[in-house]
Amino acid sequence: MPKSVVVFGDSVTWGQGFFPNQKFAKHVADALGAELRLHAHSGAVIGVNNHESGSCPPEAPRHTPTILQQLASNTDDPDEATLILLDGGINDISVQYILSPFTSDQGLKAKVERYCFEDMLTLLRAAIARFQNPRTNIIVTSYFPIFSPQSDFHRVLEYLSHGLFIAPPPAMMARAEEERFAIRSVELAMLFWQESRKQLRAAVDATRTDRVRFADVPFTEANAMFAPEPWLFNVHLEGLELKPEDPVATSRREDCERCHPNNPFDRSACDIASAGHPNFFGAEAFAKTILALAI
């Protein structure tokens, strides 16, 4: 019987910024001698109680199909699935909320608990019900520090301002205050990383089955965006425009124009959608961590 690796989730499990043969899910499937069935896409939310519809090319961020919808509409043969890969939660919270210096610790923790524990547990129970073969393992992947204390604060400010359209108020134009604005965003990025790992692991544990496992990819502070050894795609400023640094930037730009023809802000964010996603080093770390649990 043929084997398959079936993948649900958001831009991380989709492999944002990579050609098909470069994605970590493809490397995992190849190592297991299995066919890859990739249903994840950029921008997907878990989507508990979300009944919206519609889709874009998978490299262009869009909330739908939700991850629960990906699972509900799946027609892959459960008996052929040797491994299920999935993730989710970050888009339900939103990267803008996570990195905005105006976000409170309490507010972020509450959202992480809701989406990375409660809604992830709902997703995992649906996956367990869909793929019932006792030999089929389900692996949930972790997120990572988008920014860290080792990130270049000047480049953090550039990304916040030109990428997420989050800028310091005019009254905070002194250099020390700008740095504090960046530092606060870094603090929230680190808080999300720590809390999401905790809550995703708790959701895995709450399934009470050893078929469900948590792949905690070993990122460090040095592997964040704009840090000394980034495992994430960066962006750089040319004039007043941020430029992506991933292999599929050109083709994604065409997808973005088709998906967001009337919204220049969404189109601009789509153009640099690879920013903060695993690069070649990060993808290798994801593949190694997953395979250590799968084999």
Average pLDDT of the chain is 96
Pull the structure tokens for residue 138: 């389900």
CB 10 within 8 A of CB 91: yes
What is the mean predicted confidence (pLDDT) over 31-51?
Answer: 97
pTM of the model: 0.96
Place 265 in a pLDDT band, splitting at 50, 70 and 90: confident
285 close to 277: Cβ distance less than 8 angstroms: no
- pLDDT tens-digit profile of 63-93? 999 999 999 999 999 999 999 999 999 999 9
Domain holding 166: CATH number?
3.40.50.1110
Instruction: Provide the domain limits for residue 214.
Output: 4-294
Distance CA 69, CA 54 (A): 11
Domains in the chain, number: 1
Burial of 269 (0-12, 13-18, 19+ CB in 10 A): buried
Q: In Å, how far from its chain's centre is CA 179?
A: 26
* 28 phi and psi angles, rounded to 5 deg: -65, -50
Instruction: Name the E strands within the chain.
Output: 4-7, 35-38, 81-86, 137-141, 212-215, 235-238, 241-244
Choose among 191, 89, 74, 210: nearest CA to 141. Answer: 89
